[in-house]
Amino acid sequence: MNNDIFEKINDFKEKRKNRGRLLINCPDKPGIVATVSKFLFEHDANIIESSQYSTNPVGGNFFIRIEFECPGLAGKKEELRNDFRRIAETFQMDWKLSFVSEIQKIAIFVSRELHCLRELLWDWQSGDLMAEIALVVSNHEDSREIIESLGIPFYYIPASKENRAEAEQKQLQLVKKHEVDAIILARYMQILTPEFVAAHPHRIINIHHSFLPAFVGARPYDRAYQRGVKLIGATSHYVTNDLDEGPIIEQDIMRVDHRDQIEDLKKIGRSIERSVLARAVRWHLEDRVIVHKNKTIVF
């Protein structure tokens, strides 16, 4: 890893060594916020950010994200987890307690178009994407020079319909070996098998080059041109077994008109894709996304 990036990550970890995050999804009922706040207070934690949402105060679901500062957090991690389990059981919570200094490892999968990859690398180098890029996997060699110049392991694994099972087996082995927390599909133009997806639920983030649910699948810009759309967009979502129908994390659009040809739409679209994917990845790494059914709550 580049020394400058290594120093930025270490500086971030030192500054955030006492910072934790708590994500909660549970049936809505009185007392949730008061109980969680009291729990954090009793463990000497100070809430510095809190966002909450209820689908319906009567019979609905309640979601909350809390970021807190807690002196000596490194020595309290197991105590916090064990003590919070009793609260979680009482309120039937799905919950996640994470620690900001534990930097997540990501794997980036890419094919021939590199604009989304370059955006992620730029954010990573500038310190805006706080993660360890453990490896980059590609079914083409186009990105090798860029990746290896940054000291990131690069793996060329040819993939097609004919060898998909074999290719994915190699990919899964690499992901396991590098202890990857999330997989980013930065215009990786291969459909993942149900087995691959099942091994990483809500941990595979894709960028689709249309404003879903419009133009699912291949060649969306060509179909958008034929339809004469006035807006084009991009969508970042978690991957499920239903093609391009996973929980949506982020979307954006840009206006076009009758003068724009297919290549113009693609050029405009690349700009949208880059920013949409970068935001989605950053929000995932910052524990800002809660998946509920096939939707997301993004705090």
pLDDT 10s digits, 143-184 = 999 999 999 999 999 988 889 889 999 999 999 999 999 999
Catalytic site residue from 142, 181, 242, 244? 244
Same domain? For 52 and 174 the reply is no
Indicate whether 73 pLDDT > 80: yes
Same domain? For 90 and 138 the reply is no
Task: Tell the residue number behind the tokens 């002196």, with chain if given.
Answer: 71
Specify the pTM.
Answer: 0.95
Indicate whether 119 pLDDT > 80: yes
d(CA 110, CA 277): 13
Q: Is the dihedral of CA 171, 176, 178, 180 positive or negative?
A: positive
Q: What percent of the chain has pLDDT over 70?
A: 100
How does pLDDT run across 31-60, given as a tens digit for each residue? 999 999 999 999 999 999 999 999 998 889
Angle, nearest 10°, between helix axes 3-15 and 115-126?
A: 60
- Is residue 181 a part of any domain in this protein? yes
* Six token digits for residue 295: 């939707």
- Is residue 4 a part of any domain in this protein? no
State residue 1's pLDDT score: 65
| Active site (annotated) includes residue 244 | yes
Same domain? For 142 and 92 the reply is no
Alpha helices in 100-219 (DSSP H): 115-126, 144-149, 164-177, 194-198
- Is residue 132 a part of any domain in this protein? yes
Q: Domain range holding 75? A: 17-99
For 20-36, what is the mean pLDDT?
97
Same domain? For 141 and 255 the reply is yes
User: What is the domain count for the chain?
Assistant: 2
| HEC-encoded secondary structure of 186-217 | CCCCCCCCHHHHHCCCCCEEEEECCCCCCCCC
With H, G, I as helix, E, B as strand and everything else as coil, classify residue 163.
coil
State residue 174's pLDDT score: 98
Same domain? For 219 and 94 the reply is no
